[in-house]
Structure 1
Amino acid sequence: MLKLVEKAFTEASKLPQDEQDSLARLHLTELASERQWSEAFAKSQDALTKLADEALAEFDAGKAGASSDW
């Protein structure tokens, strides 16, 4: 991947300064967004795991009805 990144930077360096700045802002924004989504999904995964564990415990204890009862 390093070679691809180097190629991208080489090509970007040929652009006018304002286009380089726009491209950099775009990529930095995308990286920040990706990081936020990763963090959000990691947190939601923990919550979903907890809910699933609770549902299984209720089912095992006979407290949960069949889905056809909904």
Structure 2
Amino acid sequence: MSNLKEIEAAILSLPSSEFEKLRLWFLDLDYERWDKQIEQDIEDGKLEVFAQEAIAEFEAGHCREM
């Protein structure tokens, strides 16, 4: 399979049980890639501004228990 249309057609032809396995595999892959991206963003300091904002809000007493 060399292009997206062929992959889509193959997916559409899967029996339900195989489609479910593919769907779960794809979700796991997506979550794994998302986790890696977040880890990289943290390492690169891209989320530092949000962390500092949250700390400042907490220290200013702008928090409440959930």
Alignment TM class, shorter chain as reference:
0.5 to 0.7
Q: How many residues align?
A: 45
Q: CA RMSD in A?
A: 2.1
Letter aligned with residue 44 of structure 2? Q
Runs of 4+ in 1 over 2 A off after TM superposition: 4-7
Deviations 1:1-24 (A, max 9, x none): xxx333212101111110011001
Corresponding residue number in structure 2 for 1:18: 17
Give unmatched runs, 5+ long, in structure 1. 47-70
- Give 1 or 2: higher helix fraction: 1
Which structure 2 residue ranges, 5 or more long, are not aligned? 46-66
Percentage of pairs with the same residue: 12
TM-score normalised to structure 1 length: 0.54
Structure with greater contact order relative to length (CA < 8 Å, sep ≥ 6): 1
Normalised to the residue count of structure 2, the TM-score between the two structures is: 0.56
